[in-house]
Amino acid sequence: MKTLIGILLLCALGSTTARSQTVLTLDSCRTMALRNNKELRIAREKTKAARYERKAAFTNYLPKLSATGAYLHNNKEISLLSDEQQTAISNMGTSLATALPPLQSLGVDQLLNSLGGALVNDLRTDTRNVYAGAVTLTQPIFMGGKIRAYNQITRFTERLSQAQENASTQETILSTDEAYWQVVSLANKKRLAESFLSLVKKLDSDVEKMIREGVATKADGLSVKVKVNEAEMTLTKVNDGLSLARMLLCQRCGIPLDTPIRLADEELDDLTLPPNNTAANVETALANRPEIISLELANKIYHQKVNLVRSEFLPSVALTGNYLITNPSVFNSFENKFRGMWNVGVMVSIPLFHWGEGIYKVKSARAQADAARYQLDNAKEQIELQVNQCAYKVNEAAHKLSMAQKNMEKAEENLRYANLGFREGVIPTSNVLEAQTAWLSAQSEKIDAQIDVKLTDVYLKKAIGQLSAGL
């Protein structure tokens, strides 16, 4: 439902003219911010990458099949006979005739030389061009715990990425809420500044009449005009601040900075305050805070890294199977044909001596794991303090709002009596100015107190890890 609302809002923003305004609620601002925030997009992609890494790590349990091929051109042939042997066989008839002269007269030497030459030619190999191919199947049996440790690391890394994504989500919601309520605060203060300007201008007009009638002094008139100038300057500052605050909110929502927007809460005189039902439960914070979850997962990752480093110096066992094919065939007297053979076996690798490398690496990994544990303990202490501080601020904000409402009532009553006394001529202009200034201050404090109640509730929810788009 919220996604549909966000899409409709984006469509509305796209069709907005330069003079029209889009009304945004807090939920719609959160929805757009969560959709468009670039840091959150980065966190989501990191989570996706970690998920694929986990799936890739699982394949290390499965057999691996690979194929290789090669072509070699040799400048010499591979000979089964040495040069001396080739000469001896080719001339064996001559050698025999020398030892037995009668054979020469019979022509036996020529016959034997011919047979020897033919034998030498038959033993020649055509190995100038060699083709080879192989298919290898490898199944890990025992890798010293390396595969299991790596799978655990990738599983924890995926959960770590999800926790970091959750942290980015909460930070995005928090920054959006701060920008939203800043706009609401300044919009209310703008109306307040306009009301105060109207008050002092009315007083200025009355004092001018009284000066003409001789019942007021020029000093009274000047003091009022100074107040009018101050009120105009205040209104200008509020207008500028409001424009910048709207731009910041647009940036948080991921929409163009010059988009004309209006917030649903900025026209309300009295903001609807959240129910004060958020408990400052430290145990809940420790269970939900993404920072704690991240550090706990990091601690587990470092412990698995110890196992991973240790596995590098343990024996490894794997089953292998190969099929090798060559041309010329090395399996059949270098016959000029593709012929092959298969084999199966077991490979065992045992590290023997590496100058203590394994011991040092294991100690380094253990030190990193200890550091992660200390970081976790420190984070728990800080979060406990943060939760308690936020709880105190929630109560303090509620108390300040109650006091601000009482002060505002008194300031309004004081202003009413001052105006009445001024009209009756029993209260001087300075007292009216003081009453108006006190009324302005009381109204401004009430607005600040209302916004503080809103924000401290958000801060407490974030402190206990329960800040989400639906809250």
Per the structure, the count of domains in the chain is 2
Domain membership of residue 324 (yes or no) is no
Q: Are 38 and 175 in contact, with CB atoms under 8 Å apart?
A: no
Domain membership of residue 21 (yes or no) is yes
CA distances 401 to 130, 176, 238, 273, 404, Å, are 91, 23, 22, 10, 5
Please report, for the domain that includes residue 442, its CATH number.
1.20.1600.10
Render the burial of 150-167: b for 16+ CB within 10 Å, e for the rest.
Answer: bbbbbbbbbbbbbbbbbb
Domain membership of residue 321 (yes or no) is no
Question: What's the CA gap between 400 and 396, in Å, rounded?
Answer: 6
Extended beta strands in 108-208, E state: 129-142
Domain boundary among 63, 91, 124: 124
Q: Is the pLDDT of residue 184 over 50?
A: yes
Domain membership of residue 16 (yes or no) is yes
Please check whether residues 30 and 108 belong to one and the same domain.
no
Domain membership of residue 235 (yes or no) is yes
Q: Is the pTM of this model over 0.85?
A: no
Q: Are 299 and 372 in contact, with CB atoms under 8 Å apart?
A: yes
Query: Poorest-confidence range of 69-83, 194-208, 453-467?
Result: 69-83
Please check whether residues 115 and 186 belong to one and the same domain.
no
Q: What angle do CA 230, 231, 235 make, to 5 degrees?
A: 115
Please check whether residues 149 and 111 belong to one and the same domain.
no
Please check whether residues 189 and 107 belong to one and the same domain.
no
Query: pLDDT, tens digit, for every residue of 85-106?
Result: 666 666 666 666 565 566 555 5
SS3 9: helix
Domain membership of residue 348 (yes or no) is no
- The verdict on whether omega for the bond into residue 328 sits within 30 degrees of 0, i.e. cis, is yes
Please check whether residues 243 and 358 belong to one and the same domain.
yes
Can you tell me the mean pLDDT for 307-326? 89
More confident residue, 67 or 112: 67
What's the one-letter identity of residue 446?
Answer: K
Range of the domain at 92: 82-124
Please check whether residues 164 and 263 belong to one and the same domain.
yes
Query: pLDDT, tens digit, for every residue of 2-25?
Result: 444 443 444 444 444 334 667 889
| Number of Cβ atoms within 10 Å of the Cβ of 88 | 14
Domain boundary among 66, 95, 124: 124
Domain membership of residue 298 (yes or no) is yes
Q: Are 290 and 172 in contact, with CB atoms under 8 Å apart?
A: no
Please check whether residues 259 and 305 belong to one and the same domain.
yes
Query: pLDDT, tens digit, for every residue of 202-240?
Result: 988 988 888 888 878 888 889 989 999 999 999 999 999
Q: Give helix 146-213 / helix 26-36 axis angle, nearest 10°.
A: 140
Please check whether residues 190 and 154 belong to one and the same domain.
yes
Please check whether residues 257 and 211 belong to one and the same domain.
yes
Domain membership of residue 333 (yes or no) is no
Q: Is 325 exposed, middle or buried (0-12, 13-18, 19+ CB in 10 A)?
A: middle
Please check whether residues 307 and 250 belong to one and the same domain.
yes
Question: What's the CA gap between 32 and 5, in Å, rounded?
Answer: 10
H helix count then E strand count, the chain: 13, 6
Please check whether residues 89 and 157 belong to one and the same domain.
no
Can you tell me the mean pLDDT for 147-160? 93
Which of 333, 344, 332, 293 lies closest to 137 in space, CA to CA? 344
Query: pLDDT, tens digit, for every residue of 342-390?
Result: 889 998 888 887 777 778 888 888 898 899 889 999 999 999 999 999 9
Q: Is the pLDDT of residue 139 over 60?
A: yes
CA distances 365 to 299, 307, 389, Å, are 11, 9, 36
Please check whether residues 97 and 217 belong to one and the same domain.
no
Phi, psi of 340 (to 5 degrees): -140, 180
Q: What angle do CA 52, 53, 59 make, to 5 degrees?
A: 95
Domain boundary among 73, 95, 124: 124
Q: What percent of the chain has pLDDT over 70?
A: 81
